Amino acid sequence: MSDKLPDDLHYTKSHEWVRTLPDGGVEIGITDHAQQALGDLVFVELPEPGRRVAPGESCAVVESVKAASDIYSPVGGVVIASNAALATTPELLNQAPYGAGWLMRIALDDQGARQGLLDADGYAALLAEEQN
């Protein structure tokens, strides 16, 4: 299975990760488990900066050789950046899911909105559960 999960991130049940940035905003991506399950990624559709997203709202689409998958925003806020490199190199999602394969950055509406996310241990338990 996947290597040790980064413990400075938070996770969702739908296999996104959330990184808190120094300015208080968050960066969002998909987990190593998600990219492995999807297979080679070949297309990514990201929201325009300035778009407002609600927690749980479908805000992006990643398409692998196999299928298209919605990405759900783990938080509510305004998109301040999306990863332009993915337009030409979607394989970054496979190669570096926690780094260069980030999807977007969001300025939070409400600092409390991160409640309900899993920590690394909680997400590891979810993966173990899904495997059984």
The dihedral built from the CA positions of residue 11, 65, 87 and 46, taken in this order, carries a sign that is negative
> What is the closest distance, in whole angstroms, from the C-beta atom of residue 40 to other proteins in the complex?
4
Choosing from 68, 85, 125, 128, the residue that interacts with other proteins (CB under 8 A) is 68
Tokens 């190669």 -> residue: 95
Q: Please select the residue that binds other proteins; options are 49, 66, 85, 125, rule is CB under 8 A.
A: 66
Quick one: which of 21, 43, 110, 122 contacts other proteins (CB under 8 A)?
Answer: 43
Does residue 130 touch other proteins according to CB under 8 A?
Answer: no
The CA distance from 31 to 14, in Å, is 9
3-state secondary structure labels for all residues of 2-51: CCCCCCCCEECCCCEEEEECCCCCEEEEECHHHHHHHCCEEEEECCCCCC
Q: Which of 2, 7, 21, 61 binds other proteins (CB under 8 A)?
A: 61
**Which one-letter amino acid corresponds to residue 117?**
L
Stretch that binds other proteins, among 38-46, 74-82, 101-109, 111-119 (CB under 8 A): 38-46
Q: Which is nearer to other proteins, 26 or 44 (CB)?
A: 44
7, 8, 40, 130: which one binds other proteins (CB under 8 A): 40
Residue with tokens 């709202």: 57
Residues that bind other proteins (CB under 8 A): 39-40, 42-43, 45, 61, 63, 65-68, 87, 91, 94
